[in-house]
């Protein structure tokens, strides 16, 4: 009985160590994951824009769009931000929520500017009060709806 | 909807249960006569942890589950070690663990409205000093320190509760004031408490108070010059204590060379070092070491027992677990919704971190040994209840901030739904009309 216990206790040392290591690694991985998620939530609450207000063309001026997680800008029927009478293509550009911030992307970068600067990157982060020109369409990014309503 | 996601913890909880089951199953056969009651003990522990976890999920859905799991694992490890050393002390420890859990939930509920603790900080300070003064006259001596008090036949260590009070007192003082002149009453309080603890020869608690105070002071004020000045004052105080008190000199001498006084005062440190060396990387196996040759093996020196029976690698993983606990505590503080909650959470984390550092550092001879417990693992009712109270503070702050973030996200989502219902169709209609 004594010898059998010695052997089992010696083997169990490794089992206990493995259990603790698994436990610690699991906690670390989940901590990092939870931390990232919390930061994303805080970024959404604190940093991201939530509205765009159309400034041009004249016929759409003052219209406010609430951004959802993925937004297509264009003339197509299924476009989230549909500007029917404009020079836009059916699915001209995208404004998507990525890592807690809204980012703009278009394949047709030739007549596209953000704050007067040409769009170079595939995805460009948008901030409050950024002005975006796409063909003949101009819109401004807004954080708060109340501010938008007051301005309009 | 983007809802704050909390880490799923069922798998890690299962690991705790597996560890408890395997350890107690092994302990059934650790002595000449099989002890089937060890399995019953393990089963009760598992049920207790499960019950506490379920209550936590209901009482505070946004509480930090990963922090709780770390506490459960450390407490379970402590219970395994206590049972291996003595089933009677293990039973008492289990009762204290239950009392600690109750304390944790009480603190968690009270932390929902921190105004109560802000209101109570001055009375807590007065009571703390009163108890420590009373200890000088009516305190019972144990382990060289006169820091025990007996009420109704039950011995407890008031300094453990003073350290919980210290968290609230520091947070209350520094949440409204950061100018040094406004903090003079707090400096006086910390100074008086430290002197009283040194007079009681409770050097561990004194070191803990000073260390935690410095950390919270720096976190609250970001004043490097004042913090360095406070460290220098502390160093001068330590130097003066060394020359004024024989017991401080003795502690330093033992730390410097325990082998010179191996047969007398250096025996404990030397035995601890030998136990850790004999354990090696992998340990001797549960029940295979000779921990009872180390004085205070189940309290101050429980870390040496871990090293001896589970090995140094396991002990390092335990230290990582403590680090994780402290890091999660600091994250809770960083995400707190108000300054008082932030400072209480930071103070609780700092205390737990300092206590772990002071005792493990003492056992491995990194710093002079002072008699304090290893949080959640060492035998000791006062320590277990006080540490669980600190966990309750952290869980209360985590619960409030998590609930607030979720409420904001929910409000945003509700607003979004209203927006979608009103604006987009208008825009589309206008387009169609044109």
Question: Any idea where the domains of chain A sit in the sequence?
Answer: 1-46, 51-151
Q: What are phi and psi of B234, to 5 degrees?
A: -60, -40
Cα B278 → chain centroid: 29
Query: How far is CA B13 from each of CA B40, B46, B47, B303, rounded to the nearest angstrom?
Result: 19, 10, 12, 23
Residue A16, chain B, CB below 8 Å: the answer is yes
Binned at pLDDT 50, 70 and 90, residue B423 comes out as very low
Q: With contact defined as beta carbons under 8 Å apart, do B26 and B286 qualify? A: yes
> By CA distance, what is A85's nearest residue in B?
B431
User: Greater confidence, B406 or A12?
Assistant: A12
Would the CB atoms of B432 and A12 count as touching at under 8 Å? no
pLDDT at residue number B4: 57
Query: How far is CA A38 from each of CA A32, B5, B108, B141, rounded to the nearest angstrom?
Result: 10, 8, 21, 49
State the greatest distance between any 2 C-alpha atoms of chain B, in Å, as a whole number. 100
B-chain CB neighbours of A21 within 8 Å are 317
Least confident of B106-110, B388-392, B404-408: B404-408
Residue A103 DSSP SS3: strand
Cross-chain CB nearest to B285 (options A9, A28, A45):
A9
How far apart are alpha carbons B12 and B17 in whole angstroms? 9
- Predicted confidence (pLDDT) per residue in A113-128, tens digit: 999 888 888 899 898 8
Q: What percent of chain B has pLDDT over 90?
A: 51
Binned at pLDDT 50, 70 and 90, residue B434 comes out as very low
Q: If you search the block for the tokens 């460290």, which residue do you land on?
A: B231
pLDDT mean across residues, chain B:
87
What is the enclosing helix (H) or strand (E) of A99? Answer: none
Would the CB atoms of A63 and B424 count as touching at under 8 Å? no
Two tokens, residue A105: 């992307």
pLDDT at residue number B430: 45
Residue B234, chain A, CB below 8 Å: the answer is no
pLDDT at residue number A147: 56
Burial class (CB in 10 A: 0-12, 13-18, 19+), B199: middle
Q: With contact defined as beta carbons under 8 Å apart, do B343 and B171 qualify? A: yes
Residue A124 DSSP SS3: strand
pLDDT at residue number A152: 41
Residue B368 DSSP SS3: coil
pLDDT at residue number B264: 85
How far apart are alpha carbons A97 and A107 in whole angstroms? 18
Binned at pLDDT 50, 70 and 90, residue A109 comes out as confident
Q: If you search the block for the tokens 């939870």, which residue do you land on?
A: A34
Query: What residues are paired with A66 via a beta bridge?
Result: A51
Nearest to A144 by CA among A71, A42, A40, A67: A67
- Give me the helices (H) in A1-144, please: 2-46
Predicted model pTM: 0.82
Q: Which of A4-8, A35-39, B93-97, B292-296 has the highest mean pLDDT?
A: B93-97
Cross-chain CB nearest to B432 (options A1, A42, A84):
A84
3-state helix, strand, coil in chain B (%, to 5): 75, 5, 20
pLDDT at residue number B424: 45
ipTM of the complex: 0.87
Q: If you search the block for the tokens 């609450």, which residue do you land on?
A: A45
pLDDT mean across residues, chain A:
85
Q: With contact defined as beta carbons under 8 Å apart, do B147 and B135 qualify? A: yes
B28 Cβ neighbours under 8 A, 6+ residues apart = B34, B35, B36, B38, B39
> For B382-389, what is the mean pLDDT?
95
Select the CATH number that applies to the domain covering A51-151 from these four: 2.60.200.20, 3.40.50.720, 3.65.10.10, 3.40.50.10420.
Answer: 2.60.200.20
Q: With contact defined as beta carbons under 8 Å apart, do A129 and A80 qualify? A: no
- Predicted confidence (pLDDT) per residue in B102-125, tens digit: 999 999 999 888 888 888 888 999
Strand bridging mode A81-82 / A70-74: parallel
- Predicted confidence (pLDDT) per residue in B321-353, tens digit: 999 999 999 999 998 988 999 999 999 999 999
> By CA distance, what is B68's nearest residue in A?
A27
| Helices and strands per DSSP (H, E), number in chain A | 2, 11
Would the CB atoms of A66 and B419 count as touching at under 8 Å? yes
- Predicted confidence (pLDDT) per residue in B59-117, tens digit: 888 899 999 999 999 999 999 999 999 989 999 999 999 999 999 999 999 988 888 88
Cβ within 8 Å of A, B 165-224:
none
User: Greater confidence, A107 or B308?
Assistant: B308
Q: With contact defined as beta carbons under 8 Å apart, do B125 and B166 qualify? A: no
Residue B6, chain A, CB below 8 Å: the answer is yes
Nearest to B178 by CA among B223, B212, B124, B234: B223
Q: How far is B147 from chain A (nearest CA, A)?
A: 35
């Amino acid at each position: 009985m004594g010898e059998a216990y010695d052997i089992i206790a010696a083997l169990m040392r490794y089992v206990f160590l493995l259990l603790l290591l698994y436990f610690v690694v699991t906690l670390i991985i989940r901590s990092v994951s939870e931390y990232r998620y919390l930061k994303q939530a805080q970024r959404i609450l604190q940093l991201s824009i939530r509205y765009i207000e159309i400034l041009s063309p004249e016929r759409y001026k003052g219209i406010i769009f609430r951004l959802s997680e993925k937004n297509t800008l264009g003339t197509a029927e299924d476009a989230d931000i549909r500007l029917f009478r404009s020079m836009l293509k059916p699915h001209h550009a995208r404004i998507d929520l990525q890592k807690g911030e809204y980012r703009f992307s278009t394949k047709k970068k030739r007549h596209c500017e953000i704050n007067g600067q040409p769009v170079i990157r595939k995805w460009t982060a948008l901030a409050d009060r950024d002005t975006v020109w796409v063909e003949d369409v101009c819109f401004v990014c807004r954080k708060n709806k109340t501010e938008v309503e007051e301005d309009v | 909807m983007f809802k704050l996601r909390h880490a799923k913890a069922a798998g890690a909880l299962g690991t705790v249960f597996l560890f408890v089951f395997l350890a107690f199953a092994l302990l059934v056969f650790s002595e000449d006569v099989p002890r089937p009651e060890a399995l019953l003990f393990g089963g009760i522990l598992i049920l207790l942890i499960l019950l506490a976890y379920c209550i936590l999920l209901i009482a505070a859905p946004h509480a930090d589950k990963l922090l709780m799991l770390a506490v459960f694992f450390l407490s379970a490890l402590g219970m395994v070690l206590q049972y291996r050393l003595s089933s009677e002390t293990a039973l008492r420890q289990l009762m204290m663990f239950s009392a600690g859990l109750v304390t944790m939930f009480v603190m968690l509920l009270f932390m929902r409205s921190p105004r109560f603790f802000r209101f109570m900080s001055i009375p807590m300070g007065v009571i703390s000093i009163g108890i420590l003064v009373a200890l000088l006259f009516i305190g019972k001596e144990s382990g060289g320190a006169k820091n025990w008090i007996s009420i109704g036949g039950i011995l407890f260590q008031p300094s453990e509760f003073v350290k919980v009070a210290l968290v609230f007192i520091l947070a209350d003082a520094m949440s409204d004031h950061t100018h040094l002149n406004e903090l003079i009453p707090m400096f006086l309080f910390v100074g008086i408490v430290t002197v009283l603890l040194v007079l009681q020869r409770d050097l561990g608690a004194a070191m803990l108070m000073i260390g935690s105070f410095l950390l919270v002071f720096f976190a609250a004020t970001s004043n490097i010059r004042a913090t360095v000045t406070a460290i220098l004052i502390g160093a001068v105080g330590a130097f003066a204590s060394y020359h004024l008190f024989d017991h401080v000199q003795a502690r330093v001498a033992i730390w410097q060379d325990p082998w010179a006084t191996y047969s007398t005062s250096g025996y404990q440190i030397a035995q601890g070092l030998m136990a850790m060396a004999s354990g090696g990387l992998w340990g001797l196996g549960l029940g295979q070491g000779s921990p009872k040759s180390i004085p205070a093996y189940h309290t101050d020196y429980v870390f040496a027992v871990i090293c001896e029976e589970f090995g140094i690698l396991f002990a390092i993983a335990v230290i990582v677990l403590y680090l994780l606990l402290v890091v999660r505590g600091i994250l809770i503080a960083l995400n707190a919704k108000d300054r008082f909650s932030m400072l209480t959470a930071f103070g609780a984390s700092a205390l737990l971190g300092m206590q772990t550092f002071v005792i493990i550092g003492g056992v491995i001879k990194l710093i002079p040994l002072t008699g304090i417990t290893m949080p959640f693992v060492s035998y000791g009712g006062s320590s277990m209840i006080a540490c669980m109270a600190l966990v309750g503070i952290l869980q209360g702050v985590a619960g409030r901030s998590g609930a607030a973030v979720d409420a904001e996200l929910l409000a945003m989502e509700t607003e979004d739904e209203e927006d979608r219902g009103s604006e987009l169709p208008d825009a589309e209609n206008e387009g169609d009309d044109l």
